[in-house]
Structure 1
Amino acid sequence: MTVDTITSSKQAIELEDKYGAHNYHPLPVVLAKGEGVHVWDVEGKKYYDFLSAYSAVNQGHCHPKIVGAMNSQAETLTLTSRAFYNDMLGKYEKFASDYFKFDKLLPMNTGAEAVETAIKICRKWAYEKKGVKETDAQIIVCENNFHGRTTTIISFSNDEGARKNFGPYTPGFIKIPYDDTEALENALKQENVAGFLVEPIQGEAGVYTPADDFMKKAKQLCNDNNVLFIADEIQTGIARTGGLLAVCGNCSCENHCERQETYSRPDILILGKALSGGAYPVSAVLADDEIMNVIKPGQHGSTFGGNPVAAAVAMAALQVVQDENLIQNARTLGELFRSEMAKYIETSNIVSLVRGKGLLNAIVINDSEDSSTAWDMCMALKENGLLAKPTHGNIIRFAPPLVMTKEQLLDCVSIITETLKTFEK
């Protein structure tokens, strides 16, 4: 059997359209190479990547230290399953547990798997530690959340595109408005509440950023009601928002300090995406012994979860974040980006708002959610050498790799603003 040689973007798109399931609607650009903050298409055109694979490539494309660790381990041992020990997993579990200051790590592969894992742990903890009757546990979630697209997760999603015709849906969830402390307080009064699952910033909802004290208040309410505070930091975590985690608040330390006034420490932490720097599927759930020890042999697992390559890649990816001061860089450049975009918005009639934290930002287009304006803008940005993607119709998310320099960022701001000016009414 022969494998087609891709010679044009048109050919690649046609192949995907014919042989692949139509479960995505990509921007029509076919990428063939990446390095740092740049990617190149099949024809050799160079672009700034302003999406970073939804924040998976925080450390930049093809970071040599991460790729080097992956290649070295792949030449030695790739997979043992969990039927046997391997010499990498324990080192990785200790490294990451120390890095994020938790007792234990449960390794998985994808973000959605990690969320499902956290849900299972939370429910089991409720039955075995809190005394909730089995099958009665409820988990509070937020409207407009995005935690993945598995059957359980879509059961508490607002996205009808992800939900419709995929029922019956999994029960056991209470939905409240995001960034609403009073609603959370009222929900916690219901019976059999086991946990509160929340994104510190709602990325897919358009980089919706809550009040500065929402996470801290939510954590305290959970503590007061013996409910687990579960932070989904798959997209926001690992330096993206100018802290190691978004729940770090305004802390810009290289990794977790003990400044509890700025850090709403989760009971369960969910990580993915940048945990591997985009080089390999790696996700993880972290918790302390009192919670994690409810999981016993045979009760949860994954053939590939915790494989030696994943362990090597994740350790290298986390080390790069520390060695290259990516937390501080995201914080500084994020402030610069929002400041520069705000100057443009002052005189714009097509962009009404810029919001975000660190280098996870979005602009809100002055048009309806069902318009094509944001998409058309992203197509124009592509032509001008910058790749971004709309969300919710009238919002464009901007999330470049955290290895970006100030000069590169200002160049990107110029591309963005000059492109947007062509859409001014």
Structure 2
Amino acid sequence: MTELMTVLGIVVFFLGLLFSIAWHELGHLSTAKLFGIRVPQYMVGFGPTIWSRRRGETEYGIKALPLGGYIRMIGMFPPGDDGKVTARSTSPWRGMIEDARSAAYEELQPGDEGRMFYTRKPWKRVIVMLAGPFMNLILAVALFAGVLMGFGVSTPTTTVGSVGDCVVPASANSDTCPKGAKDTPAETAGLRAGDKIISFDGRPMQDWGALQRAIRDSSGTVAIGVERGGKEVTLTADVVRNEVTRIDGDGDYVPGETEKAGFLGFTPASGIVKQSPSQTADRMGDIVVDGVERLIEIPSRVPALWGAAFQGEEREADSPMGVVGAARVGGDVFALDAPPEQRVAFMLFLVAGFNLSLFLFNMLPLLPLDGGHVAGALWESIRRHAARVFRRPDPGPFDVARLMPVAYVVAGVFICFTLLVLVADLFNPVRIN
């Protein structure tokens, strides 16, 4: 049964992956057609074509490798300086440029002269290229919001999970009570595992964040209202000052940093809690910031990834994962001994994270990514506006094809990184617990 659920999880993830890719390309396709650009092909995947159908002037299809997708637009690059698109240079760099330019005109038909991508105004080209990544962002936001508000997430609650035995400073890094250590205020007050704290020092408490701050800001004798066995009980505790792990503005612990604060001495129980719209917005903001930070950190993570892939080193829990690794995690999730709704929520979160990654990665201003074409269109707009301001001749469209050598280098680096991640995902995968 476990093997069946693992396979089912992998299949479900790949279906989500295919939908995400198709959704991305739909953004490009719909806006390209909106602006009158001819689109001969809309494909999900790479490699041999498994299935395709022609509808109007566009062929729609699915290819064998679900590692991306594309739409083919007529005239992605302008003609060369000589007005031709078939010239061929012996220079390898020049050859790359002219090959790319020629490919953009492969399916040029009579009447397409006014339907080419490069003939559209820069702002329209920006919209066409941004539409794909923003479709992924929209899907990511919808999935994250659906999980956070519809299913909920594991969150510390005001229910007592366990009560500490003694007062120990956080820097001790030990749960063992040293000789002469005092009992925790929670223990002395009679707080028990399973008690739900409903008030603290006369103030009602509805979430762990508020209770945590109230405890840290307090000292001396305080009244604690708890719900125990369906009845309300009032306890009295003498809160002490102790060295505790520092928390940031979001209530998250800051590893390695401590501070003096009020200390009661219990651990909260976690529960699945549905988030409010404001909490959801805050969490999604944190997720986006975390995604940007991880994208920036990728180069610094390559050595550890290499060690995990080829030297048998331990794979970090937050190590970069590829499609294979994410699918494997999806299979592990479905095989977990957990309520079905939690498994579904985790899978949706996984697909949402994939879509957020697609958005952030494609926004990099580098060819062949969507952000590279956006940067080219914006640069053309700046040049043309500057020419008008200074009453100079119109410089014409910016030839993005001249950047194709850079695009090949970027693509090469990306392929190498993808292969490294693939090896690590196959032989030393990230495991969930």
TM-score by length of 2: 0.20
Larger helix fraction of residues:
2
Larger relative contact order (CA 8 Å, sep ≥ 6): 1
Structure whose alpha-carbon radius of gyration is higher:
2
